[in-house]
Structure 1
Amino acid sequence: MLVTFSCKAHNDVTMFGDIAQSLIKMMEYTTDIPGAIIAEDVELALANLEKNLIGAAAKQCATQEQQQVVDLDDEDEKEPEIGISVRAVPLIELLKAAILAKSYVMWQ
């Protein structure tokens, strides 16, 4: 499943459903699809997202450090995992544009 975020002031942002739902939870909204944030609440949603991303990044760093210790014996090269913080960048930009334009944000 794909989820598309949109607002009047930014191009649409499309993500895989599991990542999108994680980010919606981090904004402290229900993961119902479709969903929306009224213009007055977008700034709070962005603050919640950024706050929760910091916690997620800290957990990911700890997990990666543990994984590196385990993988020292493994000679196969593994691709680095793309963190949720990196995946959130397009949504953060959309939220900031919505704040400047005083626009709602919706996802479907």
Structure 2
Amino acid sequence: MLITFTSRAAADVLMLGKIGQQMLELIGKDAQDPRGIVTVEQLPAAIAALSAAATADRAKAPASNEEEDEDAPKGMAAPVALAQRIPPLLELFQYALRDKEAVTWEAS
């Protein structure tokens, strides 16, 4: 499944199903809905929720990347953190709020 977030204010943001659903849950939307809308009035709260989630995720990350995880498979890149996945959607929401445009999503 692919979730596409769309607004007239900026380019579309595409997310794979599980991550897209997680983003919807973070902003208080039903992740099971195949489509929906974040109204201009809801954007400030959605922006705050995404920002808080990114900050919390960064806070729980290891303090230093210098220490290697002995249990991690050799030669494998570290998994992408939630704090790294949030910025594209956060930026879309910020542009939408600036231009007073809603953001819609659709799962396909």
Taking structure 2 as the reference length, what is the TM-score of the superposition?
Answer: 0.82
DSSP-derived class of the 1:107 partner: strand
Q: Distance in 2 between matches of 1:101 and 1:69?
A: 44
Moved over 3 A (4+): none
Identity among equivalent positions (%) equals 28
The residue correspondences of 1:39-50 to structure 2 (distance < 5 A) are 39-50=40-51
| Count of equivalent residues | 103
DSSP-derived class of the 2:37 partner: strand
Name the amino acid aligned to 2:103. V
Deviation track 1:29-83 (CA, whole Å, cap 9, x = no partner) reads 2212201111111111111111122223333x15x98xx45438x6x22211111
Name the amino acid aligned to 2:55. I
Structure (1 or 2) with the greater helix fraction: 1
Deviation track 1:11-32 (CA, whole Å, cap 9, x = no partner) reads 1111101111111111122212
The runs of 5 or more residues in structure 2 that have no matched partner are: none
Aligned to 2:94: 96
RMSD over aligned Cα atoms: 2.2
Taking structure 1 as the reference length, what is the TM-score of the superposition?
Answer: 0.82
Name the amino acid aligned to 1:45. A
Name the amino acid aligned to 1:44. A
Q: Distance in 2 between matches of 1:90 and 1:26?
A: 15
